[in-house]
Structure 1
Amino acid sequence: MFKNLIITCFFGVTAIVLGAFGSHALKEILTFDQLQSFETAVRYQIYHAIVLLFVATFDGISAKQKQLVNALFYLGILFFSGSIYVIQLTSIQAKSIWFITPLGGLFLIAGWITMIVLFIKKVNVKL
């Protein structure tokens, strides 16, 4: 459990640092659209760090189920937000890694859907 909390806190602190970096250092370097994209990556990262804290402390699902949700969100953050950071902060062209961002989005969506299914099973709702 503590390993997941450490990873989650790492995602949280890096989101805050990158958000501050974007707000101050990058506003003179990036175009408005590039900065908006960067801020989207930061926002998605912090949202999912908060959700990961919930998952880590929620007693209603098993450790194995938590690991599945964690893995999906970890991959989602790394691929979605990470690819946007790389595109905006390096000379790598979006065309060369275009597929990574939506793949990350799919991992994030899969994490949310997994939680929906787990919660539905807990309350025995028939779909």
Structure 2
Amino acid sequence: MAKLYLVLAALFGASGVALGAFGAHGLRDKVTENLLEAYKTGVQYQMLHALALLGVALLIQSRGVHLSLTLSGAFFVFGVVFFSGSLYALALGGPRWLGPVTPVGGTLMIAGWIALLIAAANFSK
């Protein structure tokens, strides 16, 4: 599990940098300011959760596999896919029905942080 989360953290980080550069240079004059801001928010949350996922991977590596850590990582992964992915798609002209997907992704990200909190509470001293 640690290796999978480490690989996904690296992929999210690398693609986040690439998507950020694309947004800054390729979308600047092609989409409205509101859509560009939404796109930037997607990149920002993707990068933050790439780092969070890296932390989860390192915790699993050092502490072992625990349900709350496994769930935390899974929530972060699916949160990025739904939250950031829907914002990218909307900014690039995707269907409007993707709008309600964004808060689902945000909720998954919050669940990931709560699962990480539970993991921390359960760590033995």
For normalisation by structure 1, the TM-score amounts to: 0.87
Distance in 2, Cα, partners of 1:81 & 1:2: 23
Residue 60 of structure 1, CA deviation: 3.7
Q: What does residue range 23-102 of structure 1 map to in structure 2 within 5 Å?
A: 23-58=24-59, 59-60=62-63, 62-93=65-96, 96-102=97-103
Would you identify which runs of 4 or more consecutive aligned residues in structure 1 move more than 6 Å? Answer: none
Partner of 2:122: 121
Are the counterparts in 1 of residues 6 and 54 from structure 2 also a CA contact under 8 Å? yes
CA RMSD of aligned residues (A): 1.7
Same amino acid, percent of matched pairs: 34
- Of the two structures, which has the highest relative contact order with CA contacts closer than 8 Å and spacing of 6 or more? 2
Check conservation: 1:69, 1:114, Cα contact below 8 A: yes
Aligned residue pairs: how many? 122
Provide the TM-score with structure 2 as the length reference: 0.89
Q: Which runs of 5+ in 1 are unaligned?
A: none
Kindly state the Cα deviation for residue 8 of structure 1 after the two structures are TM-superposed.
1.4
Runs of 5+ in structure 2 lacking a partner? Answer: none
